[in-house]
Amino acid sequence: MPTPILLTGARGMLAADVKRLKPAGVQLIETDLEELDITDDGTVEAFFEASRPRAVLNCAAYTAVDRAEEDREAAFAVNETGVRNLAEACAVRDIPLVHVSTDYVFFGDGSRPLREEDPCRPQGVYARSKRAGEVALERVGGRWLTVRTSWLYGPHGQNFPDTILRLAGERDRLTVVDDQRGSPTLSEDLAGAIWTLMDKGTAGYVHFCNLGACSWYEYAREILRQGRALGLLSPDRRVDVVPISSAQLSRPAPRPSYSVLSTERYRAVAGSPPRPWKDALERFLRARKRAA
């Protein structure tokens, strides 16, 4: 009999790759808001009783970073209350819960890759709501794994590479922030890492991102370089990429200035390192070319 695993946020970007890379012997119970409102504890309990999952993979999240500044209640409802409800339903049944979190839980004022045990000082409503979900999961206890990631992109949702290539086809000049440093992460690679960690029964916190680091400005320049090489952007198309500061961009929510995650624990568990971010970007762009 296949193992039933409840997947929340099933119509999101990450979940699309989670479903595509599903191991043999797993039956996903796919839910999104229409099928399961994780913010309602009674609804969660009833759903668990009816579906009887053997594990839960929580890909549901409120991710509108800037909108959260004026929508605190909704952000905390999904990112904290929803996580706590799932954790309680899992703990009472002694089944594992895998939760996806973010580099935003860190203040981001350092200069070395952030380890799982480093102190969290989230800034802004979105960041605080995600950290609150982590803490709720810890307090409930049981069998849990929280996978933190950064700068996620993939083909099944809005993403930075597609945006840069689109804008490069429309404008002669792009301004991109150069004082935030992190690691772009391909959703396909994160999904594969999650399945690996689940297979090995990993618990606690694990960081996963593609190897290496860059600023958003450096990321944009690499997207254009690879895009030209792959024919996604005309080699004759002249686009000036201009670095600016976060202050110049003036977004409502603060961002970590340095949120590169250490993947040492993931390497120790999986037995191999993640793919370098430039290689992952090339894989993504090649797939985009084939689709076009």
Residues sharing a CB contact under 8 Å with residue 253, sequence separation 6 or more, in sequence order: 65, 66, 68, 69, 124, 125, 126, 127
**C-beta atoms surrounding 71 within 10 Å:** 15
- Which amino acid, 155? P
DSSP H or E stretch at residue 167: helix 160-170
**C-beta atoms surrounding 236 within 10 Å:** 6
The SS3 call for residue 122 is coil
Q: Which residue among the candidates 62, 104, 126, 153 is catalytic per the annotation? A: 126
CA angle 161, 234, 183 (to 5 degrees): 20
Contact call for residues 95 and 56 (beta carbons, < 8 A): yes
Active site residue 205: no
Joined tokens for residue 185 = 């992460």
Burial of 25 from C-beta contacts in 10 A (0-12 / 13-18 / 19+):
exposed
Instruction: Indicate the Cα dihedral angle 95, 131, 209, 193, nearest 10°.
Output: 10
**C-beta atoms surrounding 151 within 10 Å:** 24
Task: Show which residues are catalytic.
Answer: 126
